Amino acid sequence: MIPRKSLRLLIFVLVVLCGFSRGLAQTEPKPGTRAPVLTHSYAIEKGRFGRVLNVYVEAEDPDADMLRIAVVVEQVGQGVYPPDWIYLKSQHRGHFSGYLQWNTSSSRVDYMSEWTQITIKVSVFDKAENESNVAVHPFMFVSEVIPSPPLPAPFNVANLPRLGTISVELFDPAQDSHGEPPEPR
Across the range 148-165, mean pLDDT stands at 95
Domain membership of residue 125 (yes or no) is yes
Domain membership of residue 55 (yes or no) is yes
Residue 178 has what pLDDT? 52
Total structural domains within the chain: 1
- 109 burial via Cβ count (<10 Å: 0-12, 13-18, 19+): buried
SS3 state at 6: helix
Instruction: Read off the CATH number of the domain in which 79 is found.
Output: 2.60.40.10
**How much is the pTM?**
0.79
Percent of the chain with pLDDT over 90: 63
**pLDDT tens digits along 38-71:** 999 999 999 999 899 999 999 999 999 999 999 9
Domain membership of residue 110 (yes or no) is yes
**pLDDT tens digits along 102-148:** 999 888 788 888 899 999 999 999 999 999 999 999 999 999 888 88
Domain membership of residue 128 (yes or no) is yes
66 backbone dihedrals φ, ψ, rounded to 5°: -65, 140
95 lies in which domain range?
35-165
